[in-house]
Structure 1
Amino acid sequence: MIKAAESMLAKGVRNFALLFVVGEERNSAGAYFMAKQPRGSKFLINGEPTECQLALGSKGALRYELHASGRMAHSAYPELGDSAILKLLDALERVRKIELPTHPILGPCTLNIATLAGGRAPNVIPDAAKADLFFRLVDDPAPIREAVAAACDGLVEAREILCIPAVHLQPVPGIPTTVVAYTTDIPAFGGQWGQPLLFGPGTIHVAHTSEERVPKKELLAAVEHYETLVTQLLKGLE
């Protein structure tokens, strides 16, 4: 993006800016902050690994923490205790049976049971346990919320941590398109920085792994692609 900006400035292209924010992986704090300080832009190109294709949509996110409570006891006498871990496992079994929707463009809603924690020692009946759930939304979250509440009822406390809606985006003539399953800062901007577009080099398939990388060839190609995209959008404003 910076190289594309430098190239356009050298050619006399103006009326664009770079915006960098923090917190996208956790809470989109930077995007939420800047959504309160719009600058009148008509378009926002959000940089994410789309393999240099323009994304027509991205899935949303619905995160939960499940908290189970029990009663400690010596594990030789389990009848004197109440295992929080067993309650959590029963709730998770119910959650895994929730029927998840499929969208014709975004594809299936998916569930990741991301973390499990609990217990004190092998000889102690656990009095507390916790799990993190992450649904990738493709539609209205209401049915999933209802299903999670029903699955957890009487077993664990379900705390909603985050909800970000799925996003549908517009194409730009002449630029290849794709659909991505991850969530971005775009919903957090709330449209305050103009019509959003999602584009960038690299593939999400290696993100959050030990093989995370962006090929140099794609980085170099992205410079030209960003410049072309900005130029086309500016022409549309004339």
Structure 2
Amino acid sequence: MPVLSLLRDLVAVDSTSGTSGEAAVLRRVALEFEGVEEARVAFAPGADGEPTALLVSPAVVAADRPLLVFASHADVVPVTDASAWTHDPFASTVVGDRLHGRGTSDMKSGLAASVVAVRDLLRRGAPVALAVSTGEEVGCLGAPAVVDLLAGLRVGAVVIPESTDGRVVLGHRGALWLTVRTSGVAAHGSTPERGHNAILDLVAVLGRLDDLPLSVHADLGRETVNVGVVSGGSVPNIVPDVCEVRIDLRVVRDDVGELVGWWRDQPEVTDVRVDLDLAAVWTPRDHPWLAGLDAPVSEAPASYFTDASVLVRSLDDGVPVVVWGPGDPTVVHTVDESVSVDAVLRAVEQFGRVGERWAAEH
């Protein structure tokens, strides 16, 4: 089966974020379109000359004909201890209906299914495209390169084939990552009154988190805040003059200025750096395109963010974006990650039917 052969090849590549394996996956995907005259293959080069994104689109498409884009990512999270796995994380071992390996669910199964479906659809003249990014697992770093590759093309709908167990998920919250600093005055630990303790200042700020102006979205739910990393001080006998905290806010609003402003307005805070600003994504349940997707629609949004957070800022208003793929969301990023073989085969068929319907209607 072509999709399983491709999936095995993709899983065999250790494409941990930030490694050469990411580019290797992009090149392996591009190979699937060699000899397909109806396909145009384009890479976005990075600073080191290695590709950071890939776009496969129709070789010829009318300017007014919108594309259905399947947008995936090539990278995976690290395997920290291969000995803890029951099977080699890069061997694609099949046991029963499960294919095991790092990235099988997140999201090389969705990528492989998209490749096979898009290749077949392009051969039949359908207005579809495949986009593949890098660095998604570390903040959607390659997604802006996908936006650049799509420039000049009209995008009509987007499928993100992430791990949803075959259900159509209508969106997810965005992410705002901040580094917040407090500053003090160093002094000997035996005379703390001669200094000013930056750690205690940060403690005071974090003690006011209940005052953070968090919003609620009817479908995406409540905004949340997580104190992820706190760093400050060097040794016990020095009053710390600097303390920093890294904050992960999951947001439902378009404009995050109020949230950033809250941190900057705290009297103890001396600096706020925005490390990541990803948009929330939501497609209304009554959007007419959803009726033709041939899959159940989830009542809940995805808990994670995707490259859609970057893509939506470049799309026309009203363009539907869904997260929909064969991966199992309960095993992503885990030891013994795996995916259902049947789910992968089913995804190829579903993506093909959706593409055919899109071509008939556009």
| Bucket of the pairwise TM-score, normalised by the shorter protein | 0.7 to 0.9
Asked if 2 retains the 8 angstrom alpha-carbon contact of 1:52 and 1:218, the reply is yes
Q: 2:259 aligns with which of 121, 133, 144?
A: 144
Q: 1:3 to 1:208 in 2, by over 3 A?
A: closer
Q: Give per-residue Cα distances to partners, 1:84-122, cap 9 Å, x unaligned.
A: 111111111213442422211111111111111111012
User: Which residue of structure 1 aligns with residue 194 of structure 2?
Assistant: 80
Question: 1 CA distance for matches of 2:176 and 2:332?
Answer: 20
* Structure 1: gaps (5+ residues): none
Q: 1:125 to 1:46 in 2, by over 3 A?
A: same
Superposition pairs of residues 200-219 of structure 1, within 5 angstroms: 200-210=325-335, 212-219=337-344
Question: 2 CA distance for matches of 1:161 and 1:149?
Answer: 15
Structure number with greater CO (CA < 8 Å, separation at least 6) is 1
Aligned residues: 235
Asked if 2 retains the 8 angstrom alpha-carbon contact of 1:85 and 1:129, the reply is yes
Q: 1:207 to 1:45 in 2, by over 3 A?
A: same
Asked if 1 retains the 8 angstrom alpha-carbon contact of 2:220 and 2:252, the reply is yes
User: Which residue of structure 1 aligns with residue 359 of structure 2?
Assistant: 234
Q: Give per-residue Cα distances to partners, 1:187-219, cap 9 Å, x unaligned.
A: 322127x64332112344544455654444433
* Structure 2: gaps (5+ residues): 1-110
Superposition pairs of residues 7-156 of structure 1, within 5 angstroms: 9=119, 13-15=124-126, 16-38=128-150, 39-140=153-254, 141-150=256-265, 152-156=266-270
Question: 1 CA distance for matches of 2:236 and 2:338?
Answer: 41
Q: CA deviation at 1:74?
A: 2.0
Asked if 1 retains the 8 angstrom alpha-carbon contact of 2:174 and 2:305, the reply is yes
The amino acid of 1:161's aligned partner reads D
Question: 1 CA distance for matches of 2:282 and 2:360?
Answer: 23
The amino acid of 1:219's aligned partner reads V
Asked if 1 retains the 8 angstrom alpha-carbon contact of 2:282 and 2:321, the reply is no
Q: 1:205 to 1:111 in 2, by over 3 A?
A: farther
Q: 1:106 to 1:82 in 2, by over 3 A?
A: same
Asked if 2 retains the 8 angstrom alpha-carbon contact of 1:91 and 1:156, the reply is no
Asked if 2 retains the 8 angstrom alpha-carbon contact of 1:48 and 1:200, the reply is yes
Asked if 1 retains the 8 angstrom alpha-carbon contact of 2:170 and 2:321, the reply is no
Question: 2 CA distance for matches of 1:93 and 1:213?
Answer: 41
CA RMSD of aligned residues (A): 2.7
Asked if 2 retains the 8 angstrom alpha-carbon contact of 1:100 and 1:109, the reply is yes
Asked if 1 retains the 8 angstrom alpha-carbon contact of 2:131 and 2:146, the reply is no
Identical positions, percent: 26
Asked if 2 retains the 8 angstrom alpha-carbon contact of 1:54 and 1:177, the reply is yes
User: Which residue of structure 1 aligns with residue 100 of structure 2?
Assistant: none
